[in-house]
Chain A
Amino acid sequence: MAEIDRREFLKLVGASAGAAAAAGCSEPVEKLIPYVVQPEEITPGLPVYYASTCRECPAGCGLLVKTREGRPIKLEGNPEHPVNRGALCARGQAAIGRTYHPDRHPGPLRRTGEGSFEAIGWDEAIALLAEQVKQAGSGTWFLSGDPGPTASRWIDRWLAAVGAGGRVVHEPFAPEALRQAASEVFGAAGEPRFDLTDADLVIDFGSDFLETGPSPVAHARQFAASRDVAEGEGRKARFVYVGPRLSMTASNADEWVAGKPGAAGALALAVARAAVDAGAGSAAVREALAGLLGNFAPERVAAQTGVEAETIQRLGRAVARARHAVALPPGPALTGRRARATAAAVLLLNAVSGSVGRGVRVSPAGAGRRASYRETLALIDAMKSGRVKLLLIGDGNPVYSLPTATGFAGALEKVPFVVSFASLADETSARADLILPDHTPLESWGDVVSAPGARSMVQPTLRPLHDTRALVDTLLDTGRALGPAVAARLPSGSFRTLLEQAWSDADWREAVARGGRFEPAPATETVSLAPGAGRIEVAEPLLEGEGDWTLLAVPSPWLYDGRGANLPWLQETPDPVTKIAWQSWAEVSHATAERLGLELGDVVAVETPTGTLEVSVYPRGGIRDDVVAIPIGQGHTVGYWASAAESGRPGEPRGANVLDVLPAATDESGGRAWLAARATLRKTGAHRRLALVQTSQNQRGRLLGEAVPLAALAAGDGHAAEHGGEHDESHGNGHGDAHHELLKPFDASKDADPDSSYRWGMAIDLDRCTGCSACVVACHVENNIPLVGERRSLEGRQMSWLRIERWIGEGSLKGGRTLPVAADPDEAPGVVDVRHAPQLCQHCGAAPCESVCPVLATYHNPEGMNAMIYNRCVGTRYCSNNCPYKVRRFNYYDYSRENWPGLLGLMLNPDVTVRVQGVMEKCTFCTQRVSAARHAATLEGRTIRDGEVTTACAQACPTQAIAFGNLRDEKSRVVEKSHAPARSYHALHELNTRPAITYLAQVKRGRVGEEG
């Protein structure tokens, strides 16, 4: 709403926002505040895009930052960027919130007492820091994540100049074991990178590459490409997931092999053995590994891994038959004390399958300084022993993300002076003596190496909102303040100029304009097995404690290592598997739940040698009986949304922090081990309701999330999907002929004004949808959708216009008496049948909601959209009652007042009305984007071209599962996509609502190694 937006703008420029009553005019008069000097690139009312880079995780995706009147309002992927090719994950979409966040430090702060700070000026702050540095000398240490190559170089130079102790890089999910393994197996220093594009068999040993892997967006794109059924037989890669828990990534697998936690190494070698037996692997590899593989006969391994020998044999045969099989090593959750050997084993499997150098690229040369858990632990020891006099903490939140058992917080107390550069308040900065806030990524300069050949640029897209300074500039000024001696050893100028120098080899202007310098990845010279490759020691993981359950600390797809917890969009988006929002939970198997007499939501005490944790349980079929899984990321005590402050309980943690009960274990080479403890579960008798946003994952055989068997697809059986995939009468829901009669075919493109050149529509490919929910967050940000928080999520009052519904198979007629219900037992090892179905307004041609609105607030517009006019709505809510898809949302409260605290209102999209209390709202097919495109087109006297306009959800999708366009344009991508007779269907077709959205049924590829 332009209104709010203008007011906030006034706040920004510091002018008075008050409305002055003017003479001769009864109603208050708004003020028009022009620019003093209008930047020539800015035309008020038109967006300006800047290319930058996402700093949410090490993947380093390229960004296009959409700004209006100098304020970023939306992050989109940079189409030119080789890593993400225009897409962005949920975390990337939500990242925009950091800049306007209420938790931001207003400026330099000095600690005055327990948790209390006073604001000071920069000069004073820098003098203070300089003084401390002078005193501390070599006792000065710098701890942070990876600030990017240029920043790193200058930080190191500065540390050297002031004679500091050194720098430690801490990145909780850094694949240290994998790097070690690579050097062990191939003698290569580089980090192996996996490319799934050409794979025809993917075996994931728990990397969860679609969620928190090394590069989720890139991997999602490659994964979809490798399985694209549209491209004929050749492109139907199989995907096997090996691991104790059916994660979101696993939900997209064809088969789930529920191996014991920590069994990945043995399984990998056993599969390799079976593959070799089936004739895989070059002579050299066979010869090198003969000895090792000898000990891993499937029969022997079967017992210790909990996987039948037959399965292992079958996978081995599949690997042998595959042209190009890629195996991915375990991610953090399954990184145990033997992580290096496990990763090595997986790399060996890749060597056997012959994909090293193709799908698995290992560059011999390492790239710069990398995260090291070993060094972090060493630093902690130094802190405890008082050898660290001054600790400078850059980005990252070690107090939270390090295992509590490492005693980092306690060690911090021992450090005389702690400086934090965090721009947002967190547990670490709360303990600092001095806070020198850095800019947020959207405000700062910087660079990132996203991938070999991809140097990405980070550039500011708005004037810093607060009194912050670039970290490197702060350090340089401090150095200069230390006197000429130090200053002489430091460069002149600001970080910006240093960055430009660092990029002197590239065309600076072009790099800034394009978001970096992108060259094809250098051809990696083929690496061969190192002599030691055959001598790796794979064994059971060593687990502390005596409990019956192995504790799995699962990286949260949204909160990552916890850094996402303060972004409400990520909290509000339900977990892709359990559909729980804003909370913590413990996943246990149904068997476990029965054994302990636990119902959904009952609080269970998880006890490890390190500590005890109380959390509600979520019983499900998709987890081994000997495992309890708790997501990482919740349990913060600082932060408006991260802690329970938003729920009115500041200082209290939101949810439970699993890191409290993890031992501070390391792997063979000092990398961080997450899979390190056994736990005992004890029923506490308490019950804490879980905010299940999706109350049931059983679709009862209704036409919502469909699937077709690959066979039917090959046979071109046009009715497969219309029947709802391989429906049989088993779930007795009247599918079959009688049911089929009801599915009257229709032409959605007719449902618009005859004279209109458009009928907007959508095609959603369930075979490509991985459930990553990037679209959900994109929709939230684009459309100013309110975030309702934990309490109201529990009340079932979420506002999201777009949700991903997770269906387990066709479902059954069981259940429904009590709600919410946990995932069905149908989730079981073996063939995976989970469908992710994005559900949004279907913009029906015969919309039930339209006919019942007494005031015509919702109606069918000439371009075939189901329009919703907020300011006409009186709130009878009949439309929502009558909507079979239940995609309409009601404003129970005045969210416009309470939902954007502080400066957060600045990120509202000025092209979209902020809805008031008491009105309905729903997906508009991003009509503001369509209007913008229509204006542009009409001014050029033409109609909108295909691809000229797309919705926020379609734009964000890493797998391009969503296509939006004009159904009346025969050549449009949406028409082409929705024309798939064997797979296309319409949600709840039998109600004859004539939806504008065509779904393409998911393809069921069946058990791996059994296809003809």
Chain B
Amino acid sequence: MVGLDRGSRRAFRRALFLLGGGALVVALLLALPEPRPVAAQSSDVARQAQAQAWDEDAPGPKQPIPFSHALHAGTYQIECLYCHTGTDRSPMAGVPSVESCMGCHSQFGADLEGVQILQQYWQEKKPIPWLQIHRLPEHVQFPHHRHVNAGLECQTCHGPVQEMHKLYLTPDTKWWPWLTPARKLEMGWCISCHRENEVTQDCFACHY
């Protein structure tokens, strides 16, 4: 501590103390057990989830069924590809068929309103008219399988769905390297990512 005036020394000590304290807190946090997936019977969680999925005040359109991604992808930790099959094999993202929903929900959840609506569709053999949230502009070909296999998280484009009860397009804007902003799923937004990852920027890759 030679050559340091008192003020500086005090500041230094305070800094050390804060650092130490911070480290301790982090260690404690790490030591805590991570939350275990909540079992299916805890249907009050589910009930809350579906209530929030139809929450009028939450952003995003009201879907025909109060389906909560937060519950399925978040709480229950179900893989995206488990329901959205084929997304890793096909340019199109698979929207799960009513049958595949029933695969689980014929087993349980019958007490939930959402599941009841689902079963109604199933009995009437009608498809569920989901409202599209993530909509590319016209005249774009987007091969999902290429991006999934390139190791991109679905969240990169679709946002943290595992935290959303009611699905909506999470705002995201890229500025660099242009002066004008590109909103999510707009062309500039795609390009910036393609530039960062040094992949094709050929117009023909998406427009034909």
Contact = CB atoms under 8 A, between A and B. Distances in A.
**In the complex, A touching B (Cβ < 8 A):** yes
B98 A1 contact: no
B205 interface: yes
Given A29-B131, A34-B96, A34-B98, A43 B89 contact: yes
B6 interface: no
B143 A935 contact: yes
A30 B138 CA distance: 12
Contacts of A24: 59-61, 168
Interface string A1-31: 1110000000001011000101111000111
B141 A931 contact: yes
B28 to A, nearest CB: 40
Contacts of A29: 61, 131-133, 135
Interface string A957-987: 0000000000000000000000000000000
B94 A43 contact: yes
Contacts of A37: 97-99
Interface stretch (A404-412, A530-538, A860-868): A860-868
A858 to B, nearest CB: 10
Interface in A848-876: 859, 861-863, 865, 867, 869-872
Interface string A31-56: 11111111000011110000000000
B56 to A, nearest CB: 8
A863 B139 CA distance: 21
A935 B139 contact: no
Nearest to B121: A36
Contact of A46 (B56, B90, B96, B130): B90
Nearest to A928: B208
A938 B168 CA distance: 32
A698 interface: no
Contact of A913 (B61, B126, B128, B208): B208
B125 A36 contact: yes
A1 B94 contact: no
Contacts of A924: 204, 208
A25 B61 contact: yes
A713 interface: no
B173 interface: no
Contact of A34 (B90, B130, B145, B200): B130
B128 A46 contact: no
Nearest to B143: A935
A70 to B, nearest CB: 13
Interface string B73-117: 000000000000110011110111111100000000000000000
A46 B149 CA distance: 16
Contacts of B92: 43-45
Contacts of A449: none
A16 B62 CA distance: 17
A48 to B, nearest CB: 12
A701 B135 CA distance: 54
Contacts of A43: 85-86, 89-90, 92, 94
B127 A861 contact: no
B127 A935 contact: no
B146 A872 contact: no
B129 to A, nearest CB: 5
A13 B127 contact: yes
B119 to A, nearest CB: 13
B36 interface: no
Interface string A64-89: 00000000000000000000000000
Contacts of B143: 931, 935
The DSSP consensus for interface residues of chain B is: loop
B132 A32 contact: yes
Contacts of B131: 20, 22, 29-32
A871 B138 CA distance: 9
Interface residues of B, number: 46
B94 A44 contact: yes
A913 B90 CA distance: 18
A35 B208 CA distance: 27
B208 A44 contact: no
Contacts of A34: 95-98, 127-128, 130
B4 interface: no
A939 interface: yes
Contacts of A25: 60-61
A340 B77 CA distance: 80
A38 B139 contact: no
Nearest to B125: A36
B59 A869 contact: no
B82 to A, nearest CB: 14
Nearest to B62: A23
Contacts of A23: 56, 61-62
A939 B127 contact: no
B149 to A, nearest CB: 6
B207 interface: yes
B205 A38 contact: no
B11 interface: no
A269 B130 CA distance: 75
A347 B92 CA distance: 58
Given A859-B203, A861-B203, A867-B203, A22 B126 contact: no
B139 A15 contact: no
A544 interface: no
Contacts of A870: 139, 207
A992 interface: no
A912 interface: yes
A13 B129 CA distance: 12
Given A29-B61, A939-B146, A927 B208 contact: yes
B5 interface: no
A685 B19 CA distance: 104
A652 interface: no
A36 B202 CA distance: 38
Nearest to A941: B149
A911 interface: yes
B200 A35 contact: no
A201 to B, nearest CB: 47
A46 B89 contact: yes
Nearest to B96: A34
A1 B141 CA distance: 9
Contacts of B204: 861, 863, 865, 867, 869, 924, 927
Nearest to A927: B208
Given A38-B100, A44-B86, A1 B127 contact: no
A1005 to B, nearest CB: 42
Interface in B30-69: 56, 59-62
Nearest to B169: A25
Contacts of A13: 127
Nearest to B56: A23
B123 to A, nearest CB: 11
A443 to B, nearest CB: 21
A935 B148 CA distance: 12
B132 A30 contact: yes
A632 to B, nearest CB: 39
A33 to B, nearest CB: 5
Nearest to B129: A31
Contacts of B139: 1, 870-871, 913
B80 to A, nearest CB: 15
25 contacts: A3-B138, A22-B62, A23-B56, A23-B61, A24-B59, A24-B60, A24-B61, A30-B132, A34-B98, A37-B97, A38-B97, A38-B100, A43-B90, A43-B92, A44-B92, A44-B94, A46-B89, A862-B202, A863-B204, A872-B203, A911-B141, A911-B208, A913-B208, A935-B91, A935-B145
The 10 closest A-B pairs by CB, nearest first: A45-B92, A22-B61, A45-B90, A871-B139, A38-B97, A34-B95, A35-B97, A867-B204, A43-B86, A32-B130
Given A870-B139, A911-B141, 12 more contacts: A25-B60, A31-B131, A33-B95, A36-B121, A36-B126, A43-B94, A45-B90, A45-B144, A46-B86, A861-B203, A928-B141, A931-B208
Interface of A: 1-3, 13, 15-16, 20, 22-25, 29-38, 43-46, 859, 861-863, 865, 867, 869-872, 911-913, 924, 927-928, 931, 935, 938-939
